[in-house]
Amino acid sequence: MTAAGGSYEGALGVRCEATAQFLLRPGERSGAGPYAGLGLAFVGGEGARGAGYLTALLGVESAPAARAGWYGELGLGGGVRVAVGRRFRHFPPGW
């Protein structure tokens, strides 16, 4: 799930999105792992009618099974979304 704020038709706006992602190589501790996802998003703003969208995304992340790594993704649904960042994970003991 993600939430973001910004401008929507010149007013304060919000975008809330939930996706289900499928990792092609979830157990890799090194190298890049591609993934894809589908989901739903809602975009709305103060004084403006909101809209719902079906979303799709493609991405790649470094070391999917490691505790930390970078990621980059491209998403479609109500516009184009590009994201680049760093992920941190906590795994239960024994994983």
Q: What is the DSSP letter of 89?
A: -
Element (H, E) at 20: strand 11-23
Q: Would residue 49 count as lying in a domain?
A: yes
What was the pLDDT predicted at 46? Answer: 87
Q: Is residue 95 domain-resident?
A: no
Q: Which SS3 state, helix, strand or coil, does residue 56 take?
A: strand
Determine, yes or no, domain membership for 93.
Answer: no
Token pair listed for 3: 């939430």
* Domains: count for the chain: 1
Both tokens of 50, joined, read 């909101």
Tell me, yes or no, whether 82 lies in a domain: yes
Q: Is residue 76 part of a domain?
A: yes
pLDDT in tens, 1-41: 888 888 887 889 998 999 999 988 888 888 889 999 999 99
Residue, of 78 and 71, whose pLDDT is higher: 71
Residue 64's pLDDT is 86
Across the chain, mean pLDDT equals 89
* Total residues belonging to the chain: 95
Find the domain containing 7 and state its range: 2-88
Model pTM score: 0.76
